[in-house]
């Protein structure tokens, strides 16, 4: 089958998913429909509806768009069947019921932003950086009943630098993933897919690191961790959703502080964990068990994000505070 004959339905929502759709469209593949989330109400009263990035791109290319509330809805399933897809591709969408993923003759494959079977779950890029990994990657695999467990088609590796934050890794994987999606389609067209069960990639399930969804409480910094752990934690949540802590004033009052960028400064000291050291002009260090975390980019609740020198211009008394 030629690539122009293969009828593809594409499913995705955020920016991460736009790059792969764009690669398919610009590569001359036959995308016959796009499935994305319903428009979201935004604004003060929810009076404005915002389309997903995938919908915006699909509309710019005059691609048919479906936005089901429920994926088992009969009206949606009828519309999906009418598209007569040979293949479905899923990138950063939601869990599909079997009636959907089992529909096309070529099946449905997913692009996942990790080297499966590691980091199954909703936040694989964040957790790879949080855990201090020096490498991650992207995987295409066939969908099956259990989430992120299907047979692996193809993988690509990406190094993670010690200074990379999750935003940098996300963008690199987004571009790499788009190439992986088109390569995977080409392999399917050529009949060269030899998908491998994920069980062949590990001996003991205890080796597998999960990538669960991240909530606000997940993002709170634990200052009792070693220096490197705290440093990796901050970059694994930067720029989004951002690590945070509480500044505690001498009178016991507290304010939330988001931390976007830090530097690690190994040192021996006898200060209590959470003690703040500063010259009130150019640096703010937080004492931890094996050194200091030096703040570089911060955001106080209700204020804009600032580099440390600008932050100190308006908050010279920070040396009187501690963090918890």
Residues 201-233: tens digit of each pLDDT: 999 999 999 999 999 999 999 999 999 999 999
Q: Is 114 annotated as a binding residue?
A: yes
Residues 1-25: tens digit of each pLDDT: 889 999 999 999 999 999 999 999 9
- pLDDT exceeds cutoff 90 at 45: no
Q: Is 115 annotated as a binding residue?
A: yes
**Residue extent(s) of CATH 3.10.25.10 domains in the chain:** 217-323
Which CATH entry fits the domain spanning 217-323: 3.60.70.12, 3.40.50.300, 3.30.1490.20, 3.10.25.10? 3.10.25.10
**Residue extent(s) of CATH 3.40.50.170 domains in the chain:** 7-207
What value does the mean pLDDT take over residues 51-72?
Answer: 98
pLDDT at 43: 83
Q: Which helix (H) or strand (E) holds 175?
A: helix 166-190
pLDDT at 78: 98
- pLDDT exceeds cutoff 90 at 46: no
pLDDT at 177: 98
pLDDT at 197: 96
pLDDT at 44: 79
Q: Look up the pTM and report it.
A: 0.95
pLDDT at 47: 81
Q: Which of 78, 92, 81 is nearest to 37 (CA)?
A: 92
Collapsed DSSP state (helix, strand, coil) of residue 314: coil
Q: Is 189 annotated as a binding residue?
A: no
Answer yes or no: are the C-beta atoms of 62 and 82 closer than 8 Å: no
Q: Which CATH superfamily is domain 7-207 in?
A: Formyl transferase, N-terminal domain (3.40.50.170)
- Label residue 81 by pLDDT band (50, 70, 90): very high
Give the count of beta carbons closer than 10 Å to the beta carbon of residue 115: 21
Spatial distance between the Cα atoms of 176 and 179, rounded to a whole number of angstroms? 5
Q: Is 208 annotated as a binding residue?
A: no
Backbone angles phi, psi at 279, to 5 degrees: -100, 5
């Amino acid at each position: 089958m030629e690539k122009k004959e293969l009828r593809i339905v594409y499913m995705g929502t955020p920016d991460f998913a736009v790059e792969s759709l764009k690669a398919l469209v610009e590569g001359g593949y036959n995308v016959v429909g796009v499935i994305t989330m319903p428009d979201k109400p935004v604004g003060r009263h929810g009076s404005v509806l915002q389309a997903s990035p995938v919908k915006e791109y699909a509309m710019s290319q005059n691609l048919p768009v479906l936005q089901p509330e429920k994926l088992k809805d009969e009206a949606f399933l009828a519309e999906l069947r009418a598209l007569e897809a040979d293949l479905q591709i899923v990138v950063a969408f939601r869990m599909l019921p079997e009636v959907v993923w089992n529909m096309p003759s070529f099946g449905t494959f997913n692009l996942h932003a990790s080297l499966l079977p590691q980091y199954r779950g909703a936040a694989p890029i964040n957790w790879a950086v949080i855990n201090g990994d020096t490498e991650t990657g992207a995987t295409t695999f066939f969908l099956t009943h259990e989430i992120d467990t299907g047979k692996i088609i193809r993988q690509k590796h990406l190094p993670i630098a010690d200074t990379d934050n999750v935003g940098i890794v996300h963008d690199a994987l987004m571009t790499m993933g788009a190439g992986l999606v088109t390569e995977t389609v080409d392999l399917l067209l050529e009949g060269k897919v030899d998908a491998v069960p994920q069980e062949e990639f590990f001996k003991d399930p205890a080796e597998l690191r999960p990538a669960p969804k991240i909530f606000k409480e997940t993002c709170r910094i634990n200052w009792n961790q070693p220096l490197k752990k705290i440093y990796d934690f901050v970059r694994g949540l930067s720029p989004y959703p951002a690590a945070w802590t509480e500044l505690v004033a001498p009178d016991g009052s507290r304010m939330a502080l988001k931390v976007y960028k830090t530097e690690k400064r190994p040192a021996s000291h006898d200060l209590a964990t959470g003690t703040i050291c500063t010259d009130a002009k150019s640096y703010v260090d937080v004492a931890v068990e094996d050194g200091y975390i030096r703040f570089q980019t911060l955001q106080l609740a209700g204020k804009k994000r600032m580099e440390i020198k600008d932050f100190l211009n308006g908050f010279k008394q920070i040396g009187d505070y501690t963090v918890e």
